[in-house]
Amino acid sequence: MGELVRQRRILGAGVHGGARLADTLDNSTAGYNGTYDWTRAQVSLAAYVGKRIRLRVYSYGGPDIYLDNVSVAELPAAVTLNPPVAHFKTVELSWTPTASSGAFRRYEVRRSVSAGVGPTSTLVGTLSSVNQTNLTDSSGLATSTIYYYRVFVVDTNEAYAASNEGSCTTVPLGYPFADEMTNLDQWITTGDWGLTTLAAHSGPASLTDTPAGNYGPYSDSTAQTAVDLSSASWPVLRFWDRYAIDGYTRALVVVNGQPVYETTGTQEDWTQHTVDLSPWATNANVQISFRLWNKSNGTADGWYVDDVSVSEMAVVSLGYPFFDDFENGLGRWLPGNWSLSGSQPYAGAAAAHNNVGGIWYNDTGLGTANMLLTTAARLTWPGRPIRSWCSGGGGM
């Protein structure tokens, strides 16, 4: 039995003789002042096949119940859902056509992040052609997340039959990874992140937090990708950026929950940054996020990112002994968030500084900052110790 109901409390159904079928809807926690949409309800009468029945619809708990399109009929023929095929942020779905073509009205494809997809689960799409038996779900999927699906056949009486349930997990992208920002196929974004043609390091566009103007007060948004590094030996993240960011806003690169790059202020020229990802080598799911986080009501132009890649570091052997006093820059290192500083060198005019003082440890919720300074070469020496001088005080 199926019906359409618009109601505030509980609607039940019974048969002749007083047997109670079910409470088909329960909004008892919503109170008496809400507004409710029409809801499809369906109750099985399989236990009464071959019997004569009298239907009784009853309610309790409040007035304002509307009932429409009541039917008692055979369910449409269900379909068989094939195993879903997952990609980075899309899932391909296909199924067999229903045998109830004469009374067919539509297919409804629904999903959930937990098992037990029902007729009120998230609607992915509707298809009105009985012969259209495939659909690609691209509506707001997250990376590396399991999704469950069912296809519901709906007939002209609004009765529905559910398919078997299928599931799959969205997968990270392959390694090596590269993106020149010609589209957003390899990114999952929040807020206003998108492409702009107003600034680019190469090609026609770059990725930015607010393509249409300045970022807003107290905004917090990300552009995220995920890469499978299970085959990587020495993976390195490279990207080019430029930015105009107010003093209470931070641009962060976060890898699996750990910040590896942070900046603020203004950088007018495109600059390349390299970050050692070897701590995540052999990890099959490495999530990389570009996050712009504003902690105030200030606004500015924002952050532009281009030519992002994750690839293997080319190994160059350095002879022994090895020495670097950082007087000639960081050319032999993958600096990440490190830079040269002349404020407190041990000797000479410069030292490497990890710039960690600006990271908001207590506010980001990201745990300890992971700033990596890694030599961009493989040292060849007979097992001798490494000696360096370091100093604390707002960094290292």
Residue 159 and residue 178 in one domain:
no
| Number of domains comprising the chain | 3
Residue 320's pLDDT is: 74
Q: Find the domain containing 163 and state its range.
A: 85-169
User: Token pair of 263, please?
Assistant: 């900046």
Residue 372 belongs to some domain of the structure: yes
CA-based R_g, the chain, Å: 30
Residue 294's pLDDT is: 94
- Among 354, 359, 244, 352, smallest CA distance to 304 is for 244
CATH number at residue 151: 2.60.40.10
Question: Averaged in consecutive runs of 10 residues, what is the pLDDT profile of the chain (396 residues)?
Answer: 45 52 50 63 82 74 73 91 97 96 94 96 97 96 94 93 97 97 96 97 96 96 97 96 94 91 93 92 96 95 98 80 83 76 85 64 48 55 49 53
Taking a C-beta distance cutoff of 8 angstroms, is the pair 191, 214 a contact? no
- Sequence-distant (≥ 6) Cβ neighbours of residue 18 within 8 angstroms: none
Residue 276 and residue 336 in one domain:
yes
Amino acid, single-letter form, for residue 133:
T
Residue 76 belongs to some domain of the structure: no
Residue 69's pLDDT is: 82
In whole angstroms, how far apart are CA 319 and each of 246, 331, 362, 380? 44, 16, 42, 6
Residue 32 and residue 117 in one domain:
no
Residue 145 and residue 162 in one domain:
yes
Residue 52 and residue 178 in one domain:
no
User: Token pair of 311, please?
Assistant: 């690839």
User: Token pair of 106, please?
Assistant: 């539509």
User: Token pair of 357, please?
Assistant: 């003082």
Model pTM above 0.75: yes
Residue 145 and residue 232 in one domain:
no
Residue 332 and residue 188 in one domain:
yes
Residue 246's pLDDT is: 93
Residue 391 belongs to some domain of the structure: yes
Residue length, the chain? 396
Report the alpha-carbon distance of residue 109 to residue 124 in Å, rounded: 5
Residue 116 and residue 214 in one domain:
no
Report the alpha-carbon distance of residue 159 to residue 40 in Å, rounded: 9
- At CA 129, angle to CA 126 and CA 134, rounded to 5? 65
- Among 26, 54, 30, 25, smallest CA distance to 40 is for 25
CATH number at residue 195: 2.60.120.200
User: Token pair of 21, please?
Assistant: 């079928």
Residue 358 and residue 255 in one domain:
yes
Please state whether beta strands 317-318 and 378-379 pair in parallel, antiparallel, or not at all (unpaired).
Answer: parallel
Residue 181 and residue 124 in one domain:
no
Owner of token pair 């236990």 = 47
Residue 260's pLDDT is: 86
Residue 154 and residue 130 in one domain:
yes
Residue 312's pLDDT is: 96
Residue 105 and residue 201 in one domain:
no
| CB neighbourhood size of 168 (10 A) | 19
| CB neighbourhood size of 198 (10 A) | 10
